[in-house]
Structure 1
Amino acid sequence: MNETSIQCLICIGSIIAILYAYFRHSFNYWKNMGVSQLNPTFPFGDMADVIFRKKNMGDKIKEIYDRMKGEKYVGLYFFSRKAFLPLDPVLIKHILSKDFHHFYDRGIYYDEENDPLSAHLFSIAGPKWKHLRSKLTPAYSPNKLKFMFTTILDCGHQMTDLLKVMADKDSTIEIKEILARYTTDVIGSCAFGLECNSMKNPEAEFRLMGKRAFTQTVGDVLKMVIIRSFPRLAKLFNFGVFSSPVTNFFQRVVRETIEYRENNNITRKDFLHLLIQLKNNVNIDTDNINKKQASDGTSLTVEEAAAQAFIFFLAGFETTSTTISFAMFEIASNQEIQEKVREEMNNVLKKYHEDVSYDMLMDLPYLDTVISETLRKYPPAPVFLRKCTKTYRVPDSDVWIEKDLSVLIPAYGLHRDPEYFPEPDKFDPDRFNEENKTKIWDYSYIPFGDGPRACLGMRFSMIQIKIALILTLKEFNITLSKKTILPLQMETKGIILSPIGGLWFNFNHIKQ
């Protein structure tokens, strides 16, 4: 070995030693603060299992939640980055609601200049978020949802028509892809004004781009590691959160649809119409369609409108279809619950002259409890983020959360905690009936988040879920297929709970 090679090895060894010393020093941060922590390992901190896809984030944080139960909070490390994990619902209430002004940011990377699709309501913060939230809230009012109801119902009928054809050929069906196509068609129509037809054509471009948005290649994973750990470097290299084909597709669809509507004076009562009004600096009146010039002088660009339509799609189609599939799993596994849901549904349909309507959906209290219990066992976002925007002293302690630190909210851990929900693995809708729901510990049940940044699309999602369940149970008796792998084990990729091997059901026609 020549002298140059030896010098290179010494240099590399010195760099590794310096990095190791830096990480070991960083891994003492929470201990020095007097906060309980785990045993972080170089260089991954506490997240090696997640990075190497041995566990998904929801399962990992729940594992930590269960292990550290009894503590009010825990300190974590993502590589050398520090994160705060509150375990106490009282403290979580402070973070999400009472002391929201310290935690109004989600801490999600976005780059308005180089990756405008990433600058959506879910990721942005500060005055711009507050203004946009107030502008978009009317899109989810009961009046606006009633206008969209027929569109959602039509998509639901297309889904059940497909299930009938499939069940005639083979009664055993994997449901997740069917439901993903249903929610794709719903949101494609309501948010983009497009007839996606993915129920008839699973290779429709809208469906393929939706799949790609939720598929992570090895390159995507490496890019996200850089984005999360070194955001300045990501911005320098113009790294986008989503792949170029996805970004280009959604921007093109919104731009072309807006141009077509404006050039042809077309008005539809959907989410995109609201975005067009905001682009043209028009206030939204939730009770009628009268236009009034906005007083604040602000408006959306086409790129900003595309970002808001995209998050409507991204936040809605995968989480909603997954919730429906888990609800079907529990209904298929508990036939007495299925019969009770169907009996209530049939009685209410008689009351409304066999018409599935918006008002009819609001008159199904037992179905509401079934959906609530599904969201408890399988929360759409097992973990969600906040970022400390102003240094915060944890109540009744000498612990400080520094500005810019990430805070993780463990929804999955709370929902499966036997202290708050006895026999947490048991599916029991009666936890949420009128008598029992008042006994639920405050902030132990947060499937849609809480506080000012709670999920804006909750009502919209609930309508999709109810329509899918009602129309399916009206046509079929559902039982669990032997193809479903039990007990359910969740995929280790991604952040949304997804069972390995899918969910397979037997769909048997009900004689009318």
Structure 2
Amino acid sequence: MILSMGTLWEWALLISLLILAAYFLGTWGHDHFSKRNIPSLKPVPFLGNNSPIIFRQRSFPDFILDVYNGIKGHKYGGFYDFLKPVIVLRDPELIKMVTVKDFEHFLDHRALFTEEIEPLFGKGLFSLQGHKWKHMRSTLSPAFTSSKMKNMFMLVSECGVQLVDFLHQLGNIIEIEMKDLVTRYTNDVIATTALGIACDSLKNPQNEFYIMGKELTTMGAIAQMKFIGYSLSPKLMKTLNIKLISDKMSNFFRSLILDTMKIREDKGIVRSDMIHLLMQARKGTLQNEENGAADGPAIKINSMKLKKTYAQGKKLKWEDDDIIAQALLFYFAGFETVSTLMCFVSNQLAVYPDVQTRLQQEIDQTLQENDGKITYEAVHSMKYLDMVLSETLRIHSPAVMTDRKCVKTYNLPTEPAYTLHPGDIVWIPVHGLHRDPEFFPDPDKFDPERFSEENKDKIKPFTYLPFGSGPRNCIGNRFALMETKIALVHILSHFNFLVVSRTPIPIQITKKGINLTVDGGFWIGLEERVQNH
């Protein structure tokens, strides 16, 4: 069929109009910052500034560093998260104001998953908002005090013993992929400290608890696409009934936790683990056994105003999913964050044998002073161990960025002037701050001395934020550090970390997903020490 010239023109006009409409739709709001003379990154239609992540051109840490450096010379700048304008803070004083001083204006995180869409994530402490978050945080804070950590120490240490025994069975010199090894350790730690379950995932690698945990924490391409979908249109994702957690996984964890609680209630079983603490919290019997909460800033939320609010009948009733959600969040953070930190620190110690030797000397001396026993007090007395972990968290922080959502109109106290309205999002580029030579000279160098007693006070406040900042910081940071320290003390008192042919040097974070890992794996050599304890 031969189209007339008039018909061709009509089709051309229609296609042109559709292209023009798509362009305007895809760039809607992308002049938000330019109209206000706010420095910003140049967006592309629909994707905003996310294209390096969407097309896997940059790893997530490098992406955040690019965003941070893209507005260099300014205290803050603009970023487009798809079509949504976001403020990115570079100035430590602004970060202090948003996360601490004027926290009541920035009470929430941006929550992609609400209680209605994904209850096991939406009811978790990280996703809760407003008064619900305040109530849950103040309720859970006593569960993460040092006294509670001390009660769980031996449970974690038993997993450390189990880990070393497994390694000894493999030979005097072995080559091992650390991510696989330490996720099995962290899985067993969470199983015993949260649920009172003995898994031994090293001897039984295909146990269901580990397999489910691996599936839960692996954020591959499909999970990434779901995140993108929820970022663009949560309502559409809800309508399509697309969930982040499969029904199979939800039912597994729900049944496991509910069955554990029922058995304990029926038989009067008391165990110093997370489920027991959550059961106490639901009954209102969880007590803070020391002066101060789990972390300094969190105590700010226990205000008279908050107490008055719940005294007026607004106190939240704990449902089963509230407990399951907190336990699941505890599992997610403990499984993935600690295993990631362990991979990075083992790599650094292998690459820097002088640092490893000094750390082993501290471990040996401490064990000798404690008759060879690994105790809570002994582990927490090791200053150089703190320095090594702090520097590892600076270079390879598992949380490369964090955010806050404005809940009350707020004027940024700087030039150029900018007003944030309820619902607006603020990004805090943690990885950018940690790699800024202005705050950390020679930032790519692994140097634990930055955190020595003589030097750590020189670090500018609010430039080192591995666990976030203010009342919304990570409630479980003490547990994560304790879990990591115990594993390192057990391993390094018996083994040396070695560089092998497959050890990633330098570390190049994968561009294939959200998880902080390397293509090919974290391969490390382990050599039995001649003298061990």
TM-score when scaled to structure 1? 0.93
Contact 2:334–2:480 (CA under 8 A) maintained in structure 1: yes
Contact 1:213–1:243 (CA under 8 A) maintained in structure 2: no
Q: In the alignment, residue 122 of structure 1 is paired with which amino acid?
A: F
How does 1:399-414 map onto structure 2 within 5 Å? 399-414=418-433
Q: What is the aligned partner in structure 1 of residue 285 from structure 2?
A: 283
Q: What is the aligned partner in structure 2 of residue 261 from structure 1?
A: 264
Label 1:271 to 1:8 Cα distance change in 2 as closer, same or farther (>3 A): farther
How does 1:6-85 map onto structure 2 within 5 Å? 14-85=17-88
Q: What is the aligned partner in structure 1 of residue 176 from structure 2?
A: 173
Contact 1:213–1:242 (CA under 8 A) maintained in structure 2: yes
Q: What is the aligned partner in structure 1 of residue 307 from structure 2?
A: none
Alpha-carbon separation, structure 2, partners of 1:307 and 1:7: 57
Label 1:266 to 1:11 Cα distance change in 2 as closer, same or farther (>3 A): farther
Deviation at 1:67, TM superposition (A): 3.2
- Summarize deviations over 1:24-77 as a string: whole Å, max 9, x none: 341110111211112211121111111122223321110121232211112111
- Summarize deviations over 1:457-488 as a string: whole Å, max 9, x none: 11111111111111111111211111113221
Q: What is the aligned partner in structure 1 of residue 210 from structure 2?
A: 207
Label 1:354 to 1:392 Cα distance change in 2 as closer, same or farther (>3 A): same
Label 1:219 to 1:342 Cα distance change in 2 as closer, same or farther (>3 A): closer
Q: 2:457 aligns with which of 438, 450, 457?
A: 438
Alpha-carbon separation, structure 2, partners of 1:14 and 1:140: 59
Label 1:7 to 1:225 Cα distance change in 2 as closer, same or farther (>3 A): farther
Q: Decide which moves more: 229-238 or 112-121.
A: 229-238
Q: In the alignment, residue 134 of structure 1 is paired with which amino acid?
A: S
**Residues 1:487 and 2:520 are matched in the alignment:** no
- Summarize deviations over 1:269-296 as a string: whole Å, max 9, x none: 11101212233x32212339xxxxx987
Q: In the alignment, residue 314 of structure 1 is paired with which amino acid?
A: F
Alpha-carbon separation, structure 1, partners of 2:434 and 2:382: 23
Alpha-carbon separation, structure 2, partners of 1:306 and 1:124: 14
Alpha-carbon separation, structure 1, partners of 2:457 and 2:202: 40
- Summarize deviations over 1:435-459 as a string: whole Å, max 9, x none: 1000001111000001001111111
Alpha-carbon separation, structure 2, partners of 1:371 and 1:507: 19
Deviation at 1:7, TM superposition (A): 8.3
Alpha-carbon separation, structure 2, partners of 1:489 and 1:141: 36
Secondary structure at 2:170 match in 1: helix
Label 1:426 to 1:8 Cα distance change in 2 as closer, same or farther (>3 A): same
Q: In the alignment, residue 205 of structure 2 is paired with which amino acid?
A: P
Q: Decide which moves more: 115-124 or 158-167.
A: 158-167
Label 1:81 to 1:509 Cα distance change in 2 as closer, same or farther (>3 A): same
**Structure 1 unpaired stretches of 5+:** 289-293
- Summarize deviations over 1:233-260 as a string: whole Å, max 9, x none: 2233333232332222211211111112
Contact 2:220–2:514 (CA under 8 A) maintained in structure 1: no
**Residues 1:327 and 2:342 are matched in the alignment:** no
**Residues 1:504 and 2:507 are matched in the alignment:** no
How does 1:234-383 map onto structure 2 within 5 Å? 234-279=237-282, 281-287=283-289, 298-383=316-401
- Summarize deviations over 1:337-373 as a string: whole Å, max 9, x none: 1111111111111221111000101110111111111
Q: 1:133 aligns with which of 122, 133, 137?
A: 137
Q: In the alignment, residue 152 of structure 1 is paired with which amino acid?
A: V
Contact 1:148–1:270 (CA under 8 A) maintained in structure 2: yes
Label 1:265 to 1:399 Cα distance change in 2 as closer, same or farther (>3 A): same
Q: What is the aligned partner in structure 2 of residue 227 from structure 1?
A: 230
Q: In the alignment, residue 234 of structure 1 is paired with which amino acid?
A: M
Q: What is the aligned partner in structure 2 of residue 291 from structure 1?
A: none
- Summarize deviations over 1:121-142 as a string: whole Å, max 9, x none: 0111110100110111111111
- Summarize deviations over 1:376-413 as a string: whole Å, max 9, x none: 11111011121122222111232122321222111111
Alpha-carbon separation, structure 1, partners of 2:281 and 2:11: 59
Contact 2:219–2:514 (CA under 8 A) maintained in structure 1: no
Q: How many correspondences in the alignment?
A: 505
How does 1:103-142 map onto structure 2 within 5 Å? 103-118=106-121, 119-142=123-146
- Summarize deviations over 1:155-190 as a string: whole Å, max 9, x none: 11111111222244x611111111111011101211
**Residues 1:448 and 2:444 are matched in the alignment:** no
Q: 2:199 aligns with which of 196, 201, 214?
A: 196
Label 1:384 to 1:12 Cα distance change in 2 as closer, same or farther (>3 A): farther
Label 1:432 to 1:218 Cα distance change in 2 as closer, same or farther (>3 A): closer
Contact 1:110–1:124 (CA under 8 A) maintained in structure 2: no
Label 1:480 to 1:63 Cα distance change in 2 as closer, same or farther (>3 A): same
Q: 1:392 aligns with which of 410, 413, 427?
A: 410
Q: 2:186 aligns with which of 170, 183, 187?
A: 183
Alpha-carbon separation, structure 2, partners of 1:156 and 1:483: 25
Deviation at 1:313, TM superposition (A): 0.7
Label 1:375 to 1:102 Cα distance change in 2 as closer, same or farther (>3 A): same
Contact 1:151–1:190 (CA under 8 A) maintained in structure 2: yes
Secondary structure at 1:254 match in 2: helix
Contact 2:221–2:512 (CA under 8 A) maintained in structure 1: no
Secondary structure at 2:86 match in 1: strand
Label 1:11 to 1:104 Cα distance change in 2 as closer, same or farther (>3 A): farther
C-alpha root-mean-square deviation of aligned residues, in Å?
Answer: 2.2
Sequence identity (%): 37
Secondary structure at 1:83 match in 2: strand
**Structure 2 unpaired stretches of 5+:** 291-309
Alpha-carbon separation, structure 2, partners of 1:372 and 1:16: 51
Alpha-carbon separation, structure 2, partners of 1:419 and 1:219: 38
Deviation at 1:114, TM superposition (A): 4.3
Alpha-carbon separation, structure 1, partners of 2:231 and 2:78: 18
Q: Decide which moves more: 454-463 or 72-81.
A: 72-81
Q: 2:486 aligns with which of 457, 467, 486?
A: 467
Secondary structure at 2:264 match in 1: helix
Secondary structure at 2:520 match in 1: coil
Q: In the alignment, residue 70 of structure 1 is paired with which amino acid?
A: G
Alpha-carbon separation, structure 2, partners of 1:224 and 1:325: 25
Q: In the alignment, residue 265 of structure 1 is paired with which amino acid?
A: G
Q: Decide which moves more: 445-454 or 211-220.
A: 211-220
Q: In the alignment, residue 258 of structure 2 is paired with which amino acid?
A: R
Label 1:114 to 1:183 Cα distance change in 2 as closer, same or farther (>3 A): same
